Amino acid sequence: MRRKADELDKMRRAGKVVAEMHEATRAAIRPGITTRELDLVAREVLERRGAKSNFLGYHGFPAVICTSPNAMVVHGIPGDYVLDEGDLISIDCGAIIEGYHGDAAYTAGVGTISAEAKRLIEVTEASLWAGIDQLREGNRLHEVGRAVQKVAEAAGYSVVKDYVGHAIGTAMHEEPQVPNYWPGSPGPTLKTGMVFAVEPMVNVGTEETYVLEDGWGVVTQDGKLSAHFEHTICVTDDGPEVFTVA
């Protein structure tokens, strides 16, 4: 749906809080820190900004961020996992300001990482920006996924299809979905004031995933690395405006 100017202002503010959660957690990433400690860092940002969490309590999720190391794709529960030199860690954050949501994710290396891991991060982030560039008035929504898929597959990687992006506003997950691949139809026509969370999940190996016994963590079927980048973006008369940047 198309949001009004005052709604977009609130979403812009929520986006800034999410960007600050990214900055704070990124600065805290180091070998030896636990994912639970990263969750605490993110909680402090929410408190300082007077924002609510859209992750905490979502279908019973127990934290304000998701922390997904290495072969974990998304939805990891922060806990006792200790980050190790060479790990990849994907961190997904969200915030609510006056009822309006922001949602964004990034993947970072812990200390020195392999050339493959570094390339996966670069390709996944590039695929996100290729998708964002499609969020233009008059364009069709599924061009986003087509652009994401092109970048990821050109690098020899696969795009996860079990999980997708989404419209966002007064709820974190609104319709329509935003696939990270071409689903066979062009999808809705984009209009100024529409807001989406675009979030490619890119795997080094197979696109196939499964869910851990905790009911949350999503892991690659072959145990190979996965990365995840996400922003919340508005379609404007001047092109895409990314809300979840500092």
Q: Report, in Å, the least distance between residue 123 CB and Mg ion.
A: 19
- The DSSP code sequence of 123-154 is HHHHHHHHHHTT--TTSBTTHHHHHHHHHHHH
Q: Report, in Å, the least distance between residue 120 CB and Mg ion.
A: 18
Indicate the residue among 32 and 176 with the shorter CB distance to Mg ion.
Answer: 176
Indicate the residue among 32 and 124 with the shorter CB distance to Mg ion.
Answer: 124
Indicate the residue among 87 and 199 with the shorter CB distance to Mg ion.
Answer: 199
Q: Report, in Å, the least distance between residue 207 CB and Mg ion.
A: 18
Q: Output the CA torsion sign for 191, 192, 194, 199.
A: positive
Q: Report, in Å, the least distance between residue 199 CB and Mg ion.
A: 5
Q: Report, in Å, the least distance between residue 166 CB and Mg ion.
A: 6
Q: Where are the alpha helices (DSSP H) in 33-110?
A: 35-49
Whole-number Å distance between alpha carbons of 244 and 246: 7
Q: Report, in Å, the least distance between residue 212 CB and Mg ion.
A: 18
Q: Which residues bind Mg ion (CB under 5 A)?
A: 92, 103, 105, 197, 199, 230
Indicate the residue among 56 and 82 with the shorter CB distance to Mg ion.
Answer: 56
Indicate the residue among 164 and 225 with the shorter CB distance to Mg ion.
Answer: 164
Non-local CB neighbours of 99 within 8 Å, separated by 6+ positions: 10, 170
Tokens 């990687």 found at: 157
Helix axes 35-49, 5-28, angle to 10 degrees: 140
Q: In terms of C-beta density within 10 A (0-12 exposed, 13-18 middle, 19 or more buried), how is residue 21 classed?
A: buried
Other Cβ atoms within 10 Å of 218 Cβ, number:
22
Non-local CB neighbours of 79 within 8 Å, separated by 6+ positions: 34, 35, 36
Indicate the residue among 220 and 244 with the shorter CB distance to Mg ion.
Answer: 244
